[in-house]
A and B are shown apart, each in its own frame.
Chain A
């Protein structure tokens, strides 16, 4: 039972005892919120399942390492029988449990994940038996495709997570070891696993998928074009994710966790980018698209501009819904994101390196504005989250500029005094607003 409801039910008893509500009213409130306890047979032993899934993956890793030892004593046919037997046995046992009721299908998923781990081990073992030394990332690709197919077949988060890890390994090997980044690694996760996370309403799978996309996007685009392309594409992805989060909150409120994940990754990417651009040196490098040393700068640009277009389209949709139709609300400070996106792509597109000083000033102001607006809104609504976040952002921006020991002590001292005064004022304002709204101090 939800802990808030448990608290409420306890309070109802107290209210009835103190005569605040009549017994009938108390019972009606209780009926409204009380949830019937799940039958014992139906309850899912999540601890067992989580550990079983983790155990399946660890067993699979152990088997790979065991096979890697290369047992000379086992003949070729014995090794093949071992690997085929392990894959088939794990999948058959998993399928058997899938047909049962209750929590057992979940254990079947874990066994299917174990089967997929055995399948991966089999790829390497067959390569070992026949001395295959071809393009080794292909082994991870085929393994990932097997995990992806199993994830969709079972609508399984565990198999989905396994597929994400394998696609990341494949993409990283191609990029780092062979300098042949594969855009398919990004598309496989975006097209194959984000929809699964959405369908299953899984925040965990979505978080893993977004982290993988962000990583692969940066790695691949650095190899294709340059760090500047990777930077602007990451910024565009961040802005797109925040738009997607707001639209999800509005259109699919049942996937609130997913919107939270998107907001986290979106704002995370945006804040890192904005922070870097607040320094003149970094701004002149990171928005300079003319520094193309990779073999496929056109592909790097294509990814960047596609994300830019998708991000702007998302914000245009939000503008329509919130400004014209008044059907959704978006914090004012969040409009800074599409503005920053257009600004950065404009500067990058014009090749205006000389604007670095202006860019750094703009992003300093943008970060300050964002921090102050978060602090203000947090105080106004008596919400601790935005208040703390805004304060932290302001603190980081000020500390980053005035922590240098070689700077004037006077300017540093003044900056810290002003920062301290702002925090004190914020605390008093927060307290006042909380009292006004009827909360505690």
Chain B
């Protein structure tokens, strides 16, 4: 009898393992294929070894995309209620942009009626949005490969996002399959004027942010074309939504838009080549406004009150024109049209 029971339990253990593996294998083979964007860091798990931690663009869902009960969750500041919401199941309805990258269309506590969606669990809730974990945030690999991936993210592929291929099952369970590097990368370098000596007895003053240099890198082994409109007009200033304290927005979005690109605006980057563009943030088209104030006038970064310098956190987005806008221009077929965002920076000269 003991022996039979032991064999029964052993069979159950094997079945549980088979279910775990079988379910993921099935989703991997038959699930809806999607591409998600992420940037890597490199932690280590004592049970599963080295892995690459993946932080997706869809990991933080701003309040504007929350639906149903999830909207109420962001309103509460009660500690007990906030704690109680951790690990609640949520469903992110996904939309695919013209470049094939999946993004969150809405987040709700119930699955959407149609369209692809991915199931996740709430990590944290704040008044500006919800951070969600989808169970695909770790790419397990050998320690050597994990360290190599991290080094590439910092050096050879600096500023290039990872495109992660996942498969999503009918219940919203996602399985991470593999990843590739975006061939175009974007890095920024803030202008750093010489630091002034602090007069004795005077409080510390941050160095004002007056401009930055954006660099586009071709990391692929083929020619790539970029669209470089005059005066940095191929770039946008997008608020860093992942930092909940941000309450500044770009005021010059409409002012900067001009006519479409011409032949002279298209530059071909050879493999390994890069192109730098300087953006003068003191110019009015790069000024920003405080959304906490009803009638706030646009101001340059250097005039942001000292207590708000961390709250003015932005990314530079390279936003090339659409395929239609460049049709007929030379090298149009070499242009990558997917927008590209830099690391975040703030008026305090900090870079995340």
The distance in angstroms between the C-alpha atoms of A179 and B86, with both chains bound, is 9
Tally the A-B contacts, defined by beta carbons under 8 Å: 141
Secondary structure type dominating chain B contacts: helix
User: Which one of B17, B28, B143 contacts A122 once the chains associate, using CB atoms below 8 Å?
Assistant: B17
Which residues of B sit under 8 angstroms from A115, Cβ to Cβ? 10, 13
- A150 touching B6 in the complex, CB below 8 Å, given contacts A69-B142, A126-B21, A142-B16: yes
Secondary structure type dominating chain A contacts: helix
The distance in angstroms between the C-alpha atoms of A52 and B176, with both chains bound, is 40
Chain A's closest residue to B119 (CB) is: A134
The distance in angstroms between the C-alpha atoms of A69 and B24, with both chains bound, is 21
Which residues of A sit under 8 angstroms from B223, Cβ to Cβ? none
Does A98 sit within 8 A of B, measured CB to CB?
A: yes
- Pairs A–B under 8 Å by Cβ, sample size 15: A70-B141, A70-B142, A70-B143, A84-B17, A84-B18, A87-B17, A92-B10, A98-B6, A130-B20, A132-B24, A133-B135, A134-B133, A150-B13, A178-B87, A295-B79
Does A291 sit within 8 A of B, measured CB to CB?
A: no
Instruction: Name the interface residues of B1-45: CB closer than 8 Å to any CB of A.
Output: 2-3, 5-10, 12-14, 16-18, 20-21, 24-25, 28, 45
Contact indicator A68/B46 (Cβ below 8 Å):
yes
Contact indicator A98/B47 (Cβ below 8 Å):
no
Instruction: Name the interface residues of A292-329: CB closer than 8 Å to any CB of B.
Output: 293-296
- A135 touching B87 in the complex, CB below 8 Å, given contacts A69-B49, A69-B142, A112-B6: yes
The distance in angstroms between the C-alpha atoms of A122 and B140, with both chains bound, is 15
Does A17 sit within 8 A of B, measured CB to CB?
A: no
Chain A's closest residue to B139 (CB) is: A131
Q: Enumerate chain B interface residues (CB-CB to A < 8 A).
A: 2-3, 5-10, 12-14, 16-18, 20-21, 24-25, 28, 45-51, 79-80, 83-84, 86-87, 121, 133, 135-143, 145, 175-176
The distance in angstroms between the C-alpha atoms of A35 and B111, with both chains bound, is 72
Chain B's closest residue to A94 (CB) is: B6
The distance in angstroms between the C-alpha atoms of A130 and B7, with both chains bound, is 27
Contact indicator A155/B45 (Cβ below 8 Å):
no
The distance in angstroms between the C-alpha atoms of A134 and B121, with both chains bound, is 9
User: Which one of A64, A84, A293 contacts B47 once the chains associate, using CB atoms below 8 Å?
Assistant: A64
Which residues of A sit under 8 angstroms from B24, Cβ to Cβ? 126, 130, 132
Which residues of B sit under 8 angstroms from A129, Cβ to Cβ? 21, 140
Does A275 sit within 8 A of B, measured CB to CB?
A: no
- A70 touching B83 in the complex, CB below 8 Å, given contacts A88-B10, A133-B135, A153-B6: no
Chain A residues within 8 Å of chain B by Cβ, number = 55
Contact indicator B10/A87 (Cβ below 8 Å):
yes
Contact indicator B3/A70 (Cβ below 8 Å):
no
Contact indicator B17/A126 (Cβ below 8 Å):
yes
Contact indicator B87/A95 (Cβ below 8 Å):
no
10 shortest interchain CB distances as A-B pairs: A91-B10, A153-B5, A68-B49, A133-B138, A130-B24, A134-B135, A131-B176, A295-B80, A119-B13, A128-B140
Which residues of A sit under 8 angstroms from B10, Cβ to Cβ? 87-88, 91-92, 94-95, 112, 115, 150
Which residues of A sit under 8 angstroms from B140, Cβ to Cβ? 70, 127-129, 131
Does A149 sit within 8 A of B, measured CB to CB?
A: yes
Does A38 sit within 8 A of B, measured CB to CB?
A: no
Contact indicator B21/A130 (Cβ below 8 Å):
yes
User: Which one of B6, B84, B141, B175 contacts A130 once the chains associate, using CB atoms below 8 Å?
Assistant: B175
Which residues of B sit under 8 angstroms from A155, Cβ to Cβ? 2
Does A12 sit within 8 A of B, measured CB to CB?
A: no
Chain A's closest residue to B19 (CB) is: A126
